[in-house]
Structures are given as structure tokens and as C-alpha cells.
Structure 1
Amino acid sequence: MEMTGRYIINAPKDKVWTAMNDPQVLKQAIPRCDEAIRHTDTEFTAVFSFKLGFIKPRLESLISLSDINAPNSYVMTAEGKGKLAGLAKGRADVTLHAQENNKTLLEFHASGDMQGTIAEMASKLVTKTAQKLADDFFTRFDEVVSKEA
């Protein structure tokens, strides 16, 4: 599965960078996120459930940041597992670009793979759900970050 996205965040680049590295901000933005626990400056765990057709799998994901070029870009890798969800792995290259009027353009290119019952049942549904989750995340992220800007 491959995805790309471009989103305008209504906050200055440094504020967006700080928020992207704050598990509590991410918890507010990740749809149906139950927990976000920081382990180190570059690792945290997110636990969330999502709706995939008529199934609501729960996923615990270890998220790691690397290739950090603050406040411009990083690579986010995630590995999640859950009883129904099976195993999910992904990588996202995230870049921030300052825009006029204290706004930030956030661009990402992500790739991922799922193994397990859900992946076998509905790969097209997984891709569609992943895109909707990304759109929902960035809409909520913008709301959280711009409210504090």
C-alpha cells in the first residue's frame, strides 16, 4: 500500500514540528486513539481502534522517528499488532515547508503492509480506510495545533 498527502496546517512550522513530536498532541489527532505513551525522544506507543467495514480491530503500534532534520523532516516507522488486525508495518517520510501567513505545508509519502486476517479479507478496504484515517488525522491535527497557535 502506498499513500501520499499534502496538508496545510494553520500554524507556524516550529509549532507544527513541536506538535508532531508530542505524543499527547498526536493522541488528540489520531482517530480513536486510546493511549499514547512516550518511551524516548524518538519512540512512543499508540494504542487505537478503527472501523474497517463491520470489524473494529484494536492495534498497538510502536512508532519510531529517524533521519531527523529538525524542524524540517523525519522518517516515521511504525509496527503494530492486534488480535484482529494482525501485523501492520509502515514507513512515512514527512516534510514541513513554511508558508505565508504563519501556515505550514506538511507533505508525506507513506508505504505500508498488513498481514493477517484483515489483510487477506479486504486489501482494497484497508487502503481506503488508511486514506480516510490519514485525512481524519490531519484535519484533527490542524484543529489541535492551530487552536494553540
Structure 2
Amino acid sequence: MEMQGSRHLAVTQQQAWDALNDPEVLKTCIPGCDKVEATAENQYAIGMAVKIGPVSARFAGKILLMDVQPPNSYTLHFEGQGGAAGFGKGNARVNLSPPVEGSGCELGYTAQAQVGGKIAQVGQRLVDGVAKSMAEDFFKRFDDEMQRRHPQAYAAEAALPPPSAANPLKEHTGKHMPWWAWGVFAAVVVVALLLLVR
């Protein structure tokens, strides 16, 4: 399966980069996650619980960051095992860039993943639905965490005048998601992390 998405963030590119590389932020934002630990440079161990239809399992996995170009992008390789529930593996490309207009930054991702075992047998629609829901949950939690850590960035963006019809700014709702995105791991980074449970 392949997924891609993007989201506008009110924080600066550097602030977003730092958060996406902070194990505590990821642990807070990934649904069901109870462990994100650095095991070596650009390597992490992750643990999370997930329920997809009748299949519930705890997944343990690892993430390796490659082609790291701070604060712009990296490629994330991941694999996870959920015992009898199955496995997931894949990779994701995460990009941060300045917005075309306004403040904050843009987060974009593309991801490919492969799943097997009982999770793969519950049906692609159900798996895709759970993944999309987890991605949306990740981004909401990530926005909430960034607002908690950087309230001034969100206050400054809220004070900006609304976009004109002739030159609209990208919406800040983050609902540009076919997926994760967690992430990569979501997230996600963000998207890749979320695909781990698949």
C-alpha cells in the first residue's frame, strides 16, 4: 500500500523538526504508543498497542532514519512484529518546508508499507480506515503538543488576517489526508510510525 499527505503547522520548520525527532513527543502523539527509545544514532525502538477489527495486539518494532538533512527531510525505514497478529514493514519520506505564504511550515510525507498475518486478513478497507483514523489522531495530538510547547506561534498565526479569495493561504485544518501519514510516525515520521501498526 502507498500513502501520502501534507499538513500546515503553525510552528517554525526548526521547531517541527526538533519535535519530530523527540522520542517523548512521538510517544505522546502516536495513538497506543507506550515506548519510543533511542537505541543508537538515528535508530529507535517502538512499542504500541493496536486494535483492528477483531485483532488486538502489542507491536514491537524498530525505526532507522537515513538520508537525514536537518531541518528539511529524512527517509525512515521501519519494521514491527505483533506476534500472531502479524507484521508490518516499509519506509517513508518526510519533508518540512517553509510555507508558500504566511508563517509556520509545511509537513509532507509519502510512505509505502507491507503487512502480513492476521491483520492482513481482516480486510484492506478496515485496515485503511484504522490507519487513516490513527493518522488524523496523530496530527491532532501533534498540533496540541506544539501549541502547548509553542503557544506564541499559534497566537501569532491566529492574529493574522484571513486569506483573501484572490490569494488564499492553505487551510490550517490539516485535512489533506489520503492516509501516515507517523506517521509518520506520522508520523509522522509520523506516517511511518503509524504504518508500523499495520
| 1:127 alignment partner AA | D
SS of the residue corresponding to residue 71 of structure 1 reads: coil
Cα separation, 1, equivalents of 2:141 and 2:41 = 23
SS of the residue corresponding to residue 14 of structure 1 reads: helix
Which digits, 9 at most, give the CA deviation of each residue in 1:40-83, with x for residues without a partner? 23011111112212332211120111111110000111100012
Does structure 2 conserve the Cα–Cα contact (< 8 Å) formed by 1:62 and 1:79? Answer: yes
Does structure 2 conserve the Cα–Cα contact (< 8 Å) formed by 1:9 and 1:146? Answer: no
Aligned-pair RMSD on alpha carbons? 1.4
Q: TM-score, normalised by structure 1?
A: 0.92
In structure 2, the residue matched to 1:106 is 107
Stretch deviating more after TM superposition (58-67 or 114-123): 114-123
- 1:101 Cα deviation (Å)? 4.9
In structure 1, the residue matched to 2:122 is 121
SS of the residue corresponding to residue 145 of structure 1 reads: helix
- 1:126 Cα deviation (Å)? 1.3
In structure 1, the residue matched to 2:68 is 68
- 1:18 Cα deviation (Å)? 0.6
In structure 2, the residue matched to 1:144 is 145
Which digits, 9 at most, give the CA deviation of each residue in 1:80-125, with x for residues without a partner? 0012431100211110012355412100011101011220232221
| 1:65 alignment partner AA | L
Cα separation, 2, equivalents of 1:6 and 1:134 = 11
| 2:13 alignment partner AA | K
Cα separation, 1, equivalents of 2:107 and 2:67 = 17
SS of the residue corresponding to residue 55 of structure 2 reads: coil
* % identity of equivalent residues: 35
1:124-135 paired onto structure 2 within 5 Å = 124-135=125-136
Cα separation, 2, equivalents of 1:84 and 1:58 = 10
Does structure 2 conserve the Cα–Cα contact (< 8 Å) formed by 1:84 and 1:118? Answer: no
1:28-43 paired onto structure 2 within 5 Å = 28-43=28-43
Which digits, 9 at most, give the CA deviation of each residue in 1:22-55, with x for residues without a partner? 1111000100111111112301111111221233
Stretch deviating more after TM superposition (62-71 or 113-122): 113-122
Gaps of 5+ in 1: none
Cα separation, 1, equivalents of 2:54 and 2:10 = 34
Over 3 Å counting, the alpha-carbon distance change for 1:27 and 1:126 in structure 2 is: same
SS of the residue corresponding to residue 52 of structure 2 reads: coil
